[in-house]
Amino acid sequence: MSNQLSYATGSTFPPQNGPLRLYSMRFCPYSQRVRLVLAAKNVPCEIVNINAKRRPEWYLEINPLGLVPTLQHDDGKQVNESFIISEYLDGVYPQNKLIPTEPYVKARNQMLIDNFQRIAALLFRSLKFKDAEAFNEISKILDNYEKALGSEDFFGGKNPGITDYMIWPWFERFETLKPLTNNELDKKRFPKLTAWVQRMQKQDAVKQCASEPSQILEFYKVSLTNQEPDYDIGLEKPEPPPPAEGEAEAAPAE
């Protein structure tokens, strides 16, 4: 559902096609959070992918910081920030409630999600600087998640809930990015999380929103060098337009 060619600088604004649109980026874990929630709740939504390196001018009018994800209703309502969008969607679409209403259960989920920001930052450090200590720190934090899962199948109980979907994108990356971090989830230290990963991989929403591992790897390899990665890896691209008349002749002769 996210396999649309991305829009870059110079592109024309695509008129909204349906009541709900998500501005997303195919390999962005925060965008993936919202796509997971949409899939888990079976909410149809148009996906518009943004080239995060060369953002369309029109996107900066929608989101001045140029960040994804942004959710846009056709009545003009707009919501930013992955957790806020997810909670909003869970409030508006009552099917398959992901966020518990009991205040303390809800707060516990929020703390697990909030604290996971530290892991997201550490994974980046691990990737960027091949910093083994960063992965040690990740493991120390994950000890709490192993403990929090307890004897449940999912953080949401018998079925995945908000915490499961908010933290999942990084677990997908632990495995896929192993060649870059030289590290992965230690199955002996994390038997419960390991079993949870296997259960998550069987969920329809997770399957629908998964990226091809080789594509994530290729994407990170390039983006970590601060070069522009191919935001459209693996997608069928339109034929480049034929050279404008006289262009070949205009090229400098060597």
**C-alpha distances out from residue 100 to 35, 40, 157, 159, 237, Å:** 20, 15, 11, 12, 42
97 binds a second copy (CB under 8 A): no
Q: Tell me if residue 45 is catalytic.
A: no
Tell me whether residue 85 or residue 177 sits nearer to a second copy (CB atom): 85
Could you tell me which stretch among 81-89, 130-138, 184-192, 200-208 binds a second copy (CB under 8 A)? 81-89
Q: Segment near a second copy (CB under 8 A), from 10-18, 106-114, 230-238, 241-249?
A: 106-114
Which residue from 60, 84, 121, 132 is in contact with a second copy, where contact means CB under 8 A? 84
Tell me: does residue 19 bind a second copy (CB under 8 A): no
Paired residues of 167 in beta bridges: none
Q: Residues 38-77: x/- map of binding to a second copy (CB under 8 A)? A: ---------------------------------------x
Residue 132 in contact with a second copy, rule: CB under 8 A: no
Check binding of 119 to a second copy (CB under 8 A).
Answer: no
- From the list 20, 22, 28, 36, the catalytic residue is 28
Assess contact for 135 and 183: CB atoms under 8 A.
yes
**Residue given tokens 């920030």 in the structure block:** 81
Active site residues: 28
Residues in touch with a second copy (CB under 8 A): 77, 79-81, 84-85, 87-88, 91-92, 103-104, 106-107, 110-111, 114
